[in-house]
Amino acid sequence: MDGQGNALTRARDAYAEGDRPTAAAHFGMVPAEQLTADDHAAYFYTVWWVGHSEDALRLGAAAFDALRADSQPDEAAKVAFYLALLHLSRGDEPQTYGWAGRAGRVLEGVPENPGHGYLLFLTEVQANLWVGEPAAAVDAARRVQDLGRRFHDPDLVSAGLYGEGHALIRLGQVVDGLALFDEAMVGVLDGQVASLAAGALYCYTIGACDEVADVGRMSRWTELAERWLASQTAAFWYDGICRVYRAHLQLLRGEWDEAERGARRVAVEFEGNQVSYSAEAWYVVGEVRRLRGDPSAAAAYDEARARGRDPQPGRALLQLQHGDAAGAATSIRSALAAAGTDPLRRAPLCAAAVAIAIAAGQLEDAAEAESELTETAATYSTSGLKAMATTARGAVLLAQDRAADALHVLRDAYQRWVDLGAQHNAAGINLRLADAYRALGDEMSTAAEMAQAEETYERLGVQRPGPETSHGLTRRECEVLALVADGHSNRQIGEELSISDRTVARHLTNIFQKIGLTNRTEAARYAADHGIATYR
């Protein structure tokens, strides 16, 4: 056997054994004219798997032509399907539609086969999800499953289950939809689904969980995906939005170096061909920097905005962090108006609106945002939404001077964030718990919660969040202290700042405890000595 024949044999053997790097290397030693149609397809799948996207595009086109010439329309359509997905992941919609069209033409007049299922998934399941027609997507996804079962193609069955699940979620049938995700992934975990389809399903499922803030499932499937990838013989990497999903999760977990590094890579790589990916990546960068107190957060949000991504709620939370509670409240109201009626799009805005409105002393607005968020969490019932809604409820109760009622709710919120691995969110709950215990006169528990929060912030490498001044007081507390120094009563302060008398009293209690004062005379003297009397 000559050298090229030996290389081809080794390539085929390595491909059959799943040794993709070896298969790719040896296929590359063989002249194209010596490859069969099946060899061309194997070479394409192998090169894509090892991450050589540009070569995969060229080899996929050659494989499609070879399979069509070899009268294998079903396999040609399958190659066209994966080429369409590859172009889609790179943000090239014209090429995506072009390859979908080629798949359709090669199947014209051909008896129904698995290729029709792949085309159906792309043109009727995914397409209907993209244009907001989930009911049509459900019907198409069930037809994909039927084709997969009739032709014993587990890839199609799992793809159809995923598609039906995603469509049901869009229709508000969240529990049923998420259950179908889990069923779809059983085939992946059992090794029944081919590697390329498995990778795509991991990415799609994680993205759909991100969409509905099902952080628990998102974390689990990401963990399983990474474990699965580690077991493969090549380092596989899906492009684009799948990497942004991973950055979202890393951001939540406090893995901020990894989140920013991955997001910046996506922002650069997709600047020219998929601006929406780049925009979302820049938003993640802004979030990391905001949480760290990095002054360049604003610039990252500006990059996101320039690419079409409204940088909210991060931008409003950054305003609050800088002490501009009133400006932040205006910004978040505008963001909610711009978001329309989609409850999932509004949910993170409502969560931010609660914190901002409380800081601004606008308790009615806070209660309204909390009510909407609670309703959304009840409808979708996902781990992330429940954690956000419980946090918002506890914060509103605390702001209403109902510390005893708030304690139980905040304890629930804290456990939810801990279970999700969200360290920064959990630390924020520690601070609210400290406020609740302080209001109830429990100094030991107050100190314990404060210590826990500070330990977490130190571990994450950030300072305690919030619009604090050099005196350790929030901006609102400085405003209250300034008015006390001017001789205003609690009622007058409440009227001036549009907050209740009880809220004024709570602020004064916090001020006295923070700076070691016992009465209003001492507070007025402290304000004068530290220049706070002119803070407004």
pLDDT (0 to 100) of residue 534? 46
Co-location of 449 and 510 in the same domain: no
CATH of the domain at 77: 1.25.40.10
Question: How many independent structural domains does the chain possess?
Answer: 4
Average pLDDT of 417-423?
A: 95
pLDDT (0 to 100) of residue 475? 65
Co-location of 195 and 266 in the same domain: no
pLDDT (0 to 100) of residue 237? 47
Co-location of 449 and 489 in the same domain: no
Residues 368, 386: Cα–Cα separation, whole Å: 17
Co-location of 175 and 258 in the same domain: no
- Of 34-43, 319-328, 512-521, least confident by mean pLDDT is 512-521
Cα separations in angstroms, 499 against 153, 289, 322: 64, 32, 21
Residues 352, 182: Cα–Cα separation, whole Å: 31
Q: Which residue has the tokens 């389809």?
A: 197
pLDDT (0 to 100) of residue 471? 57
204: in domain? yes
pLDDT tens track for 65-121: 999 999 999 999 999 998 998 887 776 788 999 999 999 999 999 999 999 999 999
Residues 160, 124: Cα–Cα separation, whole Å: 11
State the residue range of the domain holding 215: 3-249
Phi, psi of 285, rounded to the nearest 5 degrees: -60, -45
Last residue of a domain, one of 460, 495, 526: 460
pLDDT (0 to 100) of residue 1? 47
Residues 228, 11: Cα–Cα separation, whole Å: 23
Co-location of 349 and 405 in the same domain: yes
Read off the pLDDT band of 335 (50, 70, 90). very high
Residues 369, 390: Cα–Cα separation, whole Å: 12
Residue 134: asked if its preceding bond is cis (omega within 30°), the reply is no
Co-location of 240 and 95 in the same domain: yes
What percent of the chain clears pLDDT 90, i.e. is strictly above it? 58
Co-location of 132 and 263 in the same domain: no
CATH of the domain at 505: 1.10.10.10
Burial 95-127 (b: 16+ CB within 10 A, else e): bbbebbebbbebbeeeeebbbbbbbbbbbbbbb
Per the confidence metrics, is the pTM higher than 0.95?
A: no
Beta-carbon count within 10 A of 2 CB: 7
Co-location of 217 and 254 in the same domain: no
470: in domain? no
Q: Which residue has the tokens 């013989």?
A: 233
467: in domain? no
pLDDT tens track for 455-504: 998 888 875 554 444 456 766 778 888 888 888 898 888 888 777 788 78
Answer whether 344's CB lies under 8 Å from 211's CB. yes
Residues 486, 379: Cα–Cα separation, whole Å: 49
Average pLDDT of 334-360?
A: 95
Across the chain, mean pLDDT equals 88
User: What residues contact 139, with CB distance under 8 A and at least 6 apart?
Assistant: none
Q: Where are the alpha helices (DSSP H) in 312-442?
A: 314-321, 325-339, 343-359, 363-380, 383-399, 403-419, 423-439
Co-location of 185 and 262 in the same domain: no
231 compared with 525, residue with greater pLDDT? 525
Co-location of 277 and 382 in the same domain: no
466: in domain? no
pLDDT tens track for 159-204: 999 999 999 998 989 889 999 998 988 888 877 877 677 777 888 8
pLDDT (0 to 100) of residue 148? 95
465: in domain? no
pLDDT (0 to 100) of residue 319? 93
- Of 240-244, 381-385, 407-411, least confident by mean pLDDT is 240-244
pLDDT (0 to 100) of residue 235? 46
Residues 201, 190: Cα–Cα separation, whole Å: 14
Read off the pLDDT band of 427 (50, 70, 90). very high
Rg (CA), the chain: 28
pLDDT tens track for 193-230: 776 777 778 888 888 889 899 998 888 888 877 777 66
Co-location of 355 and 403 in the same domain: yes
pLDDT (0 to 100) of residue 9? 93
pLDDT (0 to 100) of residue 2? 53
399: in domain? yes
* Both structure tokens of 270: 């997709």
Co-location of 98 and 195 in the same domain: yes
* Both structure tokens of 407: 């304690």
Last residue of a domain, one of 398, 426, 460: 460
Which residue type sits at 279?
A
